[in-house]
Structure 1
Amino acid sequence: MKRFFLLAAAVMLIGAAPASHDYDIVIRNGRVLDGAGNPWIDADVAVRDGRIVRIGAIDGRGAREIDASGRYVSPGFIDMMDQSGRILLENGAAENKLRMGVTTVIAGEGGTPVDAAEIPAYFDRLEKRGIAVNFATYYSATQARVKVMGNEEGHPTAAQMAEMEGEVATAMRNGAFGISTALLYATSNFQTTADLITLARIAARCDGFYASHIRDESEKLVEAVNEAIEIGEKGGVKVEIFHLKGAHAGGWGKLIPAAVASIEAARGRGVDVAADLYPYAAAGTGLEITVPTWVWADGKEKGIERLRDPKVRARLKKELVTGSPGWSNVVAASGGWQNVVLANAQGSRYSRFEGRNLAEIGKELGRDPVDLAWDIVIEAQPKRAMALYFVMSEDDIVHAIRQPWVSIGSDASSVMKLGEVDALGLAHPRAYGTFPRVIAEYVKRRQVLGLPDAVRKMSGWPAQRMGLSDRGLLREGMRADIIIFDLEELDDVADWQNPTGVPTGIETVIVNGQVTLDAHGHTGARAGRVLRHPCPGS
């Protein structure tokens, strides 16, 4: 009987039909851009078990064959400043990101939506629910401060600082890529340079980053860049400057070249500092930044109370003219209220004016635009009224994007539903157009960048920057995060009048070897992974 079963098993093995394919996916006849800045080559790309296994002339067959004739094949793009840390728990599709060719997002300007100790469970929930893009995040230094000290201004005691250090150490051991700050805003801007150096040293133990929305992007841009450099230099960490911009009309053509010179000088002496940007002339953020910082020194609730007080308002209006210590006057930097556009009044009675500037709205209503703006802030509570600030020049964007150490970050979230504004509630075209725009505007229309370098800025360079050694390049053995695009058809589409316009020309998006976007739309695949920053010795 034993011989019978052995013989039967042998017959089954000998008679088994051969596999119907050699690879999971073969992309044929594409113009392959490797992501390292090299010129394209005519080649096929084969994928098996989530990795690129062959590049060249491929004889074997794929379970799925994709003809990329006349198209470019490149690594998926990496969003260096993403805001999707919370929304991906609700909807992991990230379709607006995929439509831009993004396969990996680096989140966390505002930190993680959970405490440092809960980060592993948060990561597990993301992967269990399923995400369509790869996800990594920073932990906010402000999170640590708020947990220990609350939202109010003040200097931490030695014991409080030790507790903050413990929170950062926990976050780093749990896979955060470093610490982040958003120093333009309260409560973050209550942190001193010395405090941040102390916390950066904790991140340095895990070879982490200090990533910052710096303290001033306007008249004091260079000083703010230098503060970030100092934190990195003294803290022993890599520095990433979020959305580098010269946000001051009076400093156009001066501030950005000076900031670039400071970064170059720091790199020259061995500081690992770089920056990212989004390719638009308007910033987008809360309308509350038009209020001097001291108003929020005792927390948000007290700040709103102060903003309602006529006497306080009278003082604030003077400070709009004279300035206020520690506050960057974005209204003045924009050149006036005519360059501040209401983007989201959060369903208040002012929502009908969205898309129009505050000066125009004020004139129609017979209101001072200052009072109007601050009333909108109050009426939007507890939500955040949003605005667009036209503070940058195209020439400065061109100067910055040419720098070899500049990568691309959208400063936008993924969406609950394609065609809607992002989860931040901000109607800014960057949520739909950032990455296609780099190619459409700065390669095709302006011819500022070559195509291989533009792709490098969005794939190989950010992967190398973040230590993602198995992503960002099309090479054998690398993770199969791949996009296919038609250069002639590629266009960002989204603009100020149509901020949710869906880009064209990006035809196929593959994440970890699974086709996630094709000609029929989102395939429903959730092949994204959480990318955890390693902490040696943890």
Structure 2
Amino acid sequence: MYDLLIKNGIIIDPIEGKAKTNISLKDGKIAKLSQNDMAAKKEINAEGQYISPGFIDIHIHEDKLINNKIEFDVFKTIVLMGVTTAVGGNCGFSSQNLSNYFDELEKKKPLINYLSLSGYGSLREKAGVKDNYKDISGSKFKEIKRLLKEDLEAGSLGLSFGLEYTPGISTKEMIELSELIAEYPDRLVTAHYRFDSLRALESIAELIIISRETGQKIQISHLGSCTAYGQTTEALKMIEQANKAGVDLMADIYPYDAFSSYIGSAVFDPGCFKNWGINYQAVKILEGKYKGHKCTEEIFKYLRKNEVDTLVAVSAMDEEEIVEAIQNPLLMIASDGLLNNGQGHPRSAGTFPRVIAKYVREEKQISLKDAVKKMSYLPAKRIGLKQKGRIKAGYDADLTIFDFAKIKDNATFEEPTKAPTGINHVLIKGVEIVQQSKLTGKRSAEIIKL
């Protein structure tokens, strides 16, 4: 007797492709695939629906722990769009006490399976370095290495750099820290590049050098917001050539032509608008008293000075380049989900259904099998999750069931957390976490520590 039978659906395995078959689940695992009926305690009739491995989001910005409380904000929006596993601690930002964050999240019971990187910027701040533009060495750098080792022993997936946010870090520092990560098996280094737009290719070259010098696999974060200003074709060639030469470099991307960040960050230092070829009107203010207002020079300068943690989005990227990157086999899909009290970029609630609805069904830019591969198998392989990312006997029963004809992202800049339609069931370890685009209240996910 199986725990659950999912019958009459069409599975989309990232390797084998489509097949109409029944799936039985037992003890949180996929037990058997069969054309025959199988006895189970419970059934889901998936007639006319597709069943994919649960989506794996390799790049999110997790909900913060404030006074030992976590308000499930990002975690909630991403599970509603079919994500069952996600990686936080990106762009150099993570909890300054990773072990405590794991403990508190475990107490609250996470909505999704969760892994975390250690953020270089957060480690730097914890070591007492407040100036992001300052290079460091000596005792401060030794302290950062000690703190990083502490995180790695606590189960951190690896290290994330936010080079555009902490311009003071040198390539030499990055190499030394990446060498430390390489001492730990199956860990990952990710990097929010040093420069975007006009100097994007310099950024790619720097990461190639670091990976080549250290032998450490490196993931380029949200490539589109680095290169989709006329540099994507050349950047992809560089990444492909590096891989052919034995360098382990891949990237992720979200399916929008607007990026998002805090207005007080170094991303918006003088000269940025000229580099992006935009003016103030390209900036969308996503929260606070100016939300919905057209950005002006006066408002921009006021927020930069007085409300530095205001989230904004900038429409500056080229849509054709976004498509080109999404089609590349070395890229996977990630949301870069980031919310502040429910406000932010719609990618936090729309990324995965948007890829299927827009780029698979409507525009036919990629196949459904390739899209699912980029949203499950590739990130699973990248972070070493050997029992996730496929629909195969023995794999974890993390599954997303959706209506291909109806799936659609509904989140907008005005309503960034609006849930998608067409995602009818999301299961983690065989337990139904989402049903008909609503949370069931059940929890079965885990903190994944290396």
Structure-2-length-normalised TM-score: 0.93
1:98 and 2:79 aligned: yes
* Distance of aligned partners of 1:121 and 1:385 in 2 relative to their CA distance in 1, 3 Å threshold: closer
| Residues in 2 aligned to 1:155 and 1:338: alpha-carbon distance in whole angstroms | 34
Query: Are 2:117 and 2:160, in contact at CA under 8 Å, matched by a contact in 1?
Result: yes
Q: Which residue does 2:130 correspond to in 1?
A: 151
Q: Which residue does 1:11 correspond to in 2?
A: none
Within a 5 Å distance, the mapping from 1:289-328 to structure 2 comes to 289=265, 320=270, 323=271
| Residues in 1 aligned to 2:267 and 2:43: alpha-carbon distance in whole angstroms | 56
Q: Which residue does 2:159 correspond to in 1?
A: 179
1:476 and 2:419 aligned: no
Q: Which residue does 2:430 correspond to in 1?
A: 513
Q: Which residue does 1:42 correspond to in 2?
A: 20
1:264 and 2:240 aligned: yes
SS at match of 2:84: strand
SS at match of 1:40: strand
Q: Could you tell me which amino acid in structure 2 is paired with residue 406 of structure 1?
A: L
Q: Could you tell me which amino acid in structure 2 is paired with residue 90 of structure 1?
A: I
Q: Which residue does 2:291 correspond to in 1?
A: 354
Query: Are 1:244 and 1:275, in contact at CA under 8 Å, matched by a contact in 2?
Result: yes
| Residues in 2 aligned to 1:285 and 1:176: alpha-carbon distance in whole angstroms | 24
My pick for the range that moved more, 493-502 or 199-208, is: 493-502
Q: Could you tell me which amino acid in structure 2 is paired with residue 155 of structure 1?
A: D
Structure 2 unmatched runs, 5+: none
Choose from 43, 52, 56 the match for 1:74. Answer: 52
Choose from 181, 188, 200 the match for 1:221. Answer: 200
Provide, for residues 465-488 of structure 1, a one-character-per-residue CA deviation record: whole Å limited to 9, x for no partner. 110001111111111100111000
SS at match of 1:288: coil
Could you tell me how far 1:151 is from its partner in structure 2?
1.1
1:113 and 2:95 aligned: yes
Query: Are 1:412 and 1:424, in contact at CA under 8 Å, matched by a contact in 2?
Result: no
Could you tell me how far 1:66 is from its partner in structure 2?
0.5
Q: Which residue does 2:10 correspond to in 1?
A: 31
Choose from 84, 87, 111 the match for 2:62. Answer: 84
Query: Are 1:245 and 1:277, in contact at CA under 8 Å, matched by a contact in 2?
Result: yes
| Residues in 2 aligned to 1:111 and 1:34: alpha-carbon distance in whole angstroms | 33
| Residues in 1 aligned to 2:141 and 2:432: alpha-carbon distance in whole angstroms | 47
SS at match of 1:270: coil
| Residues in 2 aligned to 1:107 and 1:290: alpha-carbon distance in whole angstroms | 21
| Residues in 2 aligned to 1:212 and 1:283: alpha-carbon distance in whole angstroms | 16
Q: Which residue does 2:307 correspond to in 1?
A: 380
Could you tell me how far 1:99 is from its partner in structure 2?
1.5
Could you tell me how far 1:59 is from its partner in structure 2?
3.4
Q: Could you tell me which amino acid in structure 1 is paired with residue 435 of structure 2?
A: D
Could you tell me how far 1:506 is from its partner in structure 2?
0.5
My pick for the range that moved more, 167-176 or 490-499, is: 490-499
| Residues in 1 aligned to 2:38 and 2:246: alpha-carbon distance in whole angstroms | 47
Q: Which has the higher strand share?
A: 2
Query: Are 1:218 and 1:330, in contact at CA under 8 Å, matched by a contact in 2?
Result: no
SS at match of 1:452: helix
Provide, for residues 108-129 of structure 1, a one-character-per-residue CA deviation record: whole Å limited to 9, x for no partner. 11443133xxx33432321221
Q: Could you tell me which amino acid in structure 2 is paired with residue 286 of structure 1?
A: Y
Q: Could you tell me which amino acid in structure 1 is paired with residue 39 of structure 2?
A: R
* Distance of aligned partners of 1:100 and 1:34 in 2 relative to their CA distance in 1, 3 Å threshold: same
Identity %: 30
* Distance of aligned partners of 1:134 and 1:291 in 2 relative to their CA distance in 1, 3 Å threshold: closer
Q: Which residue does 1:5 correspond to in 2?
A: none
1:160 and 2:160 aligned: no
SS at match of 1:389: strand
Could you tell me how far 1:404 is from its partner in structure 2?
0.8
Query: Are 1:484 and 1:506, in contact at CA under 8 Å, matched by a contact in 2?
Result: yes
| Residues in 2 aligned to 1:291 and 1:111: alpha-carbon distance in whole angstroms | 15
| Residues in 2 aligned to 1:442 and 1:72: alpha-carbon distance in whole angstroms | 17
Within a 5 Å distance, the mapping from 1:358-369 to structure 2 comes to 358=295, 362=296, 369=297
Query: Are 1:440 and 1:491, in contact at CA under 8 Å, matched by a contact in 2?
Result: yes
Could you tell me how far 1:180 is from its partner in structure 2?
0.5
SS at match of 1:143: helix
Provide, for residues 444-496 of structure 1, a one-character-per-residue CA deviation record: whole Å limited to 9, x for no partner. 11101100110010001110111000111111111110011100011112234
| Residues in 1 aligned to 2:363 and 2:80: alpha-carbon distance in whole angstroms | 23
Q: Which has the higher helix share?
A: 1
| Residues in 1 aligned to 2:211 and 2:232: alpha-carbon distance in whole angstroms | 20
SS at match of 1:220: helix
Q: Which residue does 1:433 correspond to in 2?
A: 350
* Distance of aligned partners of 1:393 and 1:291 in 2 relative to their CA distance in 1, 3 Å threshold: closer
| Residues in 1 aligned to 2:65 and 2:425: alpha-carbon distance in whole angstroms | 24
* Distance of aligned partners of 1:217 and 1:292 in 2 relative to their CA distance in 1, 3 Å threshold: closer
1:343 and 2:321 aligned: no
Specify the structure having the higher radius of gyration (Cα).
1
Number of aligned positions between the proteins: 444
CA RMSD of superposed structures (Å) = 2.1
Could you tell me how far 1:183 is from its partner in structure 2?
1.2
Query: Are 2:7 and 2:44, in contact at CA under 8 Å, matched by a contact in 1?
Result: yes
* Distance of aligned partners of 1:520 and 1:192 in 2 relative to their CA distance in 1, 3 Å threshold: closer
Could you tell me how far 1:425 is from its partner in structure 2?
5.6
Within a 5 Å distance, the mapping from 1:465-504 to structure 2 comes to 465-504=382-421
Could you tell me how far 1:424 is from its partner in structure 2?
6.4
| Residues in 1 aligned to 2:395 and 2:256: alpha-carbon distance in whole angstroms | 32
SS at match of 1:32: strand
